[in-house]
Amino acid sequence: MTTSSIRTLFVTKEVPYPPVGGVNLRTWQNINIMMKFGPVDVFSASNWSPKSTSLPGVVLWKHTNVAIQRSNWEKLENRLWWLHPRRHPDADWAYAKTAAKELDETLTQFQPHLVIIEEVWLYSYLSVVKRHKCHIIFDNINVEASLWQQRYSSVQGFKSQLKAKIQLEHLKSIESDFAKQASQVWVCSENDSNLITQYYGQVSPTHVVPNGINVAHYDSIHSRECKPEAGLEDTKQNLLFLGQLSYSPNTVAVELLINQIYPRLRELYPDSRLLLVGRNPTQFMQTAAKQEPGIIVTGSVADVRPYLAAASVMIVPLLQGGGTRLKILEAFAAGCPVVSTTKGAEGIKVRDGEHLLIRNKVEELVEGVSQLWSNPSFAEKLASSAYELVQAEYSWQAVSRKIDLAIQKLLPD
């Protein structure tokens, strides 16, 4: 088999294009890289139906809306997930028996050499893929057991604690089995690779495939062809937070921004604005935007580039999470300076004061943003170094080299 004749099937939890959000950006990256090896098909399962019927460059795309396919019996089974050690409510979200049958038919029709399954939440489909003669790559975008421990360590109340404990134990069982049954495990960073070993010991060969971005996609910001979003043309003191706003680590970070960080910046810079860009904003965020004109909540946007063009600083005050923050890489590619917590910059090969500012306390984050706003030449120097880093380590070309090595080990000539 030559590397130009490899057929790859991606199994995804969401529609990967247009790439909105971190998971989709990673999946779309990997789809585009695998196209150079041969034809690519996509099977996606979620609880909604997209308007489009094709994906650019993809030979065949099969999407299934599991929400309208589940029988009443399946819905009852899902409620009883806690009786089965390898069931989890978040893994049931994207599964239906009719969808599993459709996946089986897709595998029979396409006969892929490789199947790349996105995230642990598609574990229920693993048994279907195992029936076919193909290599399985578990793209473990986050070490989910670690995220759950971070998220639920402060859960209060006996019933809530018991439920959280059961969910965590089930998740560990699922993630461990997936990592051992796959031909390879892909993770986003060395940190995640170490976490896999820490949680599960010896698993299938694990390769670091970083989250990357198509750097050229952001060139229009550098050339100023991409204009700031209407109403945000005064870009001097626009503070940007980018991401899915309903995602728990992002929700915690945004609440910190609204309650503590932005009010202090507003005292120093009365004309400053806080741009919260991403889908599914919470009611708290929407209420804050109504009460404070300087807070702008967009909801889902078709293109984040006009907001990156409008931003003078991106802030990433994450206190929990895993993987690699694509929002930081997007800022680097767009030439937007970044202030982040240590957790926010986790998994990226950055140095404080060279590529971005790393600050962990509220007062430090406020000081970091103020430093960049008051010293534009220093902000520009950070942004320039960060752009060089994203080109060298996190562009699609750089990530492609990592995937080349992983595929060669899995399918040697």
Q: What is the mean pLDDT of residues 304-319?
A: 96
Q: How far is CA 142 from CA 84, 115, 121, 208, in A?
A: 23, 19, 11, 12
pLDDT score of 288? 97
Give first-to-last CA distance, the chain, whole Å.
Answer: 6
Beta-sheet strand order (sheet of 8-12) = 60-65, 40-46, 8-12, 114-118, 135-139, 184-187, 206-208
Instruction: Give the span between the Cα atoms of 293 and 136, in whole angstroms.
Output: 50
Query: The tokens of 6 are what?
Result: 């490899």
- In the predicted structure, residue 322 carries a pLDDT above the cut 70: no
- In the predicted structure, residue 2 carries a pLDDT above the cut 80: no
- In the predicted structure, residue 180 carries a pLDDT above the cut 70: yes
Query: The tokens of 124 are what?
Result: 């229920």
pLDDT score of 323? 56
Residue whose entry in the numeric block shows the structure tokens 């680097």: 332
Highest mean pLDDT among 51-55, 96-100, 146-150: 96-100
Which residue in 235, 218, 236 sits closest to 226, CA to CA? 218
| Per-residue pLDDT band at 405 (split at 50, 70, 90) | very high
Instruction: Give the pLDDT confidence of 186-207 residue by residue, as tens digits.
Output: 999 999 999 999 999 999 999 9
| Ramachandran angles phi, psi of 381, nearest 5° | -65, -45
| Per-residue pLDDT band at 324 (split at 50, 70, 90) | low
Query: The tokens of 373 are what?
Result: 């706003």
**What angle in degrees, to the nearest 10, is found between the helix axes of 376-393 and 362-374?**
100
| Per-residue pLDDT band at 4 (split at 50, 70, 90) | low
- In the predicted structure, residue 5 carries a pLDDT above the cut 70: yes
Instruction: Tell me whether residue 57 is exposed, middle or buried, using C-beta atoms within 10 angstroms of its C-beta: 0 to 12, 13 to 18, 19 or more.
Output: exposed
Q: How far is CA 170 from CA 177, 285, 302, in A?
A: 11, 32, 36
Give me the DSSP letters along 132-188: SSSEEEEE-SS-HHHHHHHHHTT--SHHHHHHHHHHHHHHHHHHHHHHHHSSEEEES
338 three-class SS? strand
Q: What is the mean pLDDT of residues 295-303?
A: 93
Instruction: Give the span between the Cα atoms of 22 and 151, in whole angstroms.
Output: 19
Prediction pTM value:
0.88
pLDDT score of 149? 85
59 three-class SS? coil
